[in-house]
Chains A and B, each alone.
Chain A
Amino acid sequence: MPQSDSTPTERRAAASDMIDKLMRLAALKLEADEREMLKDNLDRIVALIDAMRSADTDGIEPLDHPLDGVQPLRPDQVTEDIDRDRFQGLAPAARDGLYLVPRVVDAVASAGAPRIRSANAPRRARPGKRA
């Protein structure tokens, strides 16, 4: 994969090639025609943002917050109660205080650790890290 010292043309080509990787990272699944459109769109957008290349930003500190502010701390006290039933009432599928998702762990085998079905599942959805 070309790195940041590659030319804009190389990076645009790389962006097209990357579309499948980006779709995977962003957890999006696109039909063929939509994928082609977004691939072409991405080329043009990368051309737009490549205009930043000509700016001299050496020695400039990145700005994270428009007022250069810092996150204030508050006292470490409980200030509200979470009403689990109310929030889970929004879920497409929930039961007994749990959010329901397709099975991610095969039935526990006779020995050894449970097998996780999905290699790409985000970490929080794995056993013990319930969302």
Chain B
Amino acid sequence: MQPFPTIDGIRRTLAAKAASAVEITQAQLARIAASDLNSFVTVCEEDALAAAQRADAQIARKGHAGLAGVPIAHKDVFCTAGVKTTCASRMLANFIAPYDATVVTRLADAGVVVVGKTNMDEFAMGSSNENSHFGPVSNPWDTERVPGGSSGGSAAAVAAGLVPAATGTDTGGSIRQPAAFCGISGLKPTYGRVSRHGMVAFASSLDQGGPLARSAADLRLLLRHMEGHDPLDSTSADVEPTGSASLAGLSIGIPREYWRGLDDRIAAVIDEAGAVLEGLGHRRVDVSLPHTAYATPAYYVIASAEASTNLARYDGVRYGHRADSPADLDDLYLRSRSEGFGAEVKRRILVGTYALSVGYYDAYYRKAQRLRRLIRQDFLDAFGAVDLILTPATPTTAFRKEALQAVDESGDPTAMYQQDIYTVPASLAGLPAVSIPCGFIDGLPVGMQVIAPHFAEDRLLAVAEAFQRETDWHARTPEKS
């Protein structure tokens, strides 16, 4: 039994009129107020209760439909009209967007109650949620450890039962890695499946919004109300919505490159998960993704290059942080940006500027884009032989706070970047991938990643749901919460 309510459970409760949306929302707000995880940047108590009242009125009038009355939180990277959207940056600490992101609008249309905006790594750059202007987030399984990032606030809030689900964004693993570290389920949809309109940009050819929840079934419910073509996002895909898939005897690729150098205990947990899938009638098949080792360097070139371009917009003139008493226009630009951005954001802007500069563009940026094609082709070749691919989601379980921080000259920022080695390849290829809980090591959750062909979220979620009917890893909750 789930000690914390799932979306599915809340819908049934509301449909049976066993509790009102207001009561459910009040209970979640009370849990948020009592939590010291620092998983929220903004809590919208009044707005949430008003939305819950509207949901109750709608349910009384027409019965329960969609996600009416279901409390959720949005990662603070999604624009929300009337509520601050900070991206956990000093640059946007007081920014109130003039419009809602398409994801926010669609979920609101489905009737959700937004209880607040979750903490994150600044501008979604990081794998530990330590790069936040509003302070680090704690992992509810061990508060001395990080929740992962960049959607660390969303993952910690869901894992601790503060909300049944939250939105996140994933550029190189920012939904899947925190989901794995916090023992919850997270889906990065196919690039283009979910609109990026109103999602503050980090790396536009990689960014993709998606849900974090306590079950794959809940991921499906959320995706249904997040996906769909959006004329306001020119990279939004005009495809059929995610349906349901047949599950008979799938072949599941095990890419041998992901097991090289893999921690023995993580390997054992993922192997056991593979055995569960075999028990469900699927078959494991050895596959090769030969360019995997190049994914991390190619990713950091492309993502940083796009970040340096996207973040050029923050100039202290039109919105965002502006330095006091600038001496002249140069001083205004330089100081506004330097005061507004944190160290990791500056690092990525400089790397991106370097990779795009004259004399280096071909050696780095174009080289990375060529590798991106080879990495994508590896997956397309593998999917010629298998239906899905199973890998670990992360190389370790949640690590201690400050363990991988590059805080001085001796620090090595690339140690943090290695956290993404299993998630960035699917990001570069634009593929959908899910991370779901599949075991524990020393009391900390381990996640498995399942990757599907483009737009095959139906198959991905069907296998994840079947796995969760067979196991109860996803239903476990941290003792202290």
Q: Which residues of A contact B (CB under 8 A)?
A: 1-4, 11, 15, 18-19, 21-23, 25-30, 34, 36-38, 40-42, 44-53, 55, 57, 60-67, 69, 71-72, 74, 83, 86-87, 89-93, 99, 101-104, 117-118, 120-122, 125, 131
Q: Which secondary structure characterizes the binding site on chain B?
A: helix
- The docked-state distance in angstroms from the alpha carbon of A37 to that of B346 is 11
- The docked-state distance in angstroms from the alpha carbon of A72 to that of B234 is 7
On whether A62 and B369 interact (CB within 8 A), knowing A26-B353, A48-B414, A90-B95, the answer reads yes
B347 touches A92 (CB 8 A): no
Q: Which secondary structure characterizes the binding site on chain A?
A: loop
Q: Which of B285-328 contact A (CB under 8 A)?
A: 291, 293-294, 296-298, 300-301, 308, 312, 315-322, 326-328
A101 touches B338 (CB 8 A): no
- Those 3 A-B pairs whose CB atoms lie nearest each other, nearest first: A66-B430, A4-B363, A62-B369
A71 touches B333 (CB 8 A): no
Interface stretch of the complex, out of B43-51, B120-128, B372-380? B372-380
A28 touches B319 (CB 8 A): no
Q: Which residues of B contact A (CB under 8 A)?
A: 95-96, 98, 190-192, 205-206, 231, 234-235, 237, 291, 293-294, 296-298, 300-301, 308, 312, 315-322, 326-335, 337-338, 341, 343, 346-347, 349-351, 353-355, 357, 359-360, 362-364, 366-374, 376, 406, 408-414, 417, 428-430, 454
On whether A62 and B370 interact (CB within 8 A), knowing A28-B346, A99-B317, the answer reads yes
Closest to A120 in B: B330
Closest to A91 in B: B318
- Inter-chain pairs besides A37-B406, A42-B350, 16 sampled, C-beta below 8 Å: A11-B360, A15-B354, A22-B350, A26-B308, A26-B337, A27-B312, A40-B409, A41-B347, A45-B417, A46-B354, A55-B291, A65-B235, A90-B95, A90-B96, A90-B98, A125-B329
Contact among B316, B328, B373 with A60 in the assembled complex (CB-CB below 8 Å):
B373
B346 touches A30 (CB 8 A): yes
- The docked-state distance in angstroms from the alpha carbon of A50 to that of B231 is 39
A69 touches B296 (CB 8 A): no
Contact among B312, B360, B370 with A4 in the assembled complex (CB-CB below 8 Å):
B360
| Min CB gap A121→B, angstroms | 5
- The docked-state distance in angstroms from the alpha carbon of A56 to that of B147 is 37
A64 touches B331 (CB 8 A): no
On whether A101 and B317 interact (CB within 8 A), knowing A19-B350, A66-B428, the answer reads yes
| Min CB gap A58→B, angstroms | 9
- The docked-state distance in angstroms from the alpha carbon of A67 to that of B320 is 33
| Min CB gap B402→A, angstroms | 15
B353 touches A25 (CB 8 A): yes
- The docked-state distance in angstroms from the alpha carbon of A44 to that of B410 is 10
Closest to B291 in A: A55
| Min CB gap A69→B, angstroms | 7
- The docked-state distance in angstroms from the alpha carbon of A25 to that of B211 is 37
Closest to B237 in A: A67
Contacts of B190 in A (CB 8 A): 67
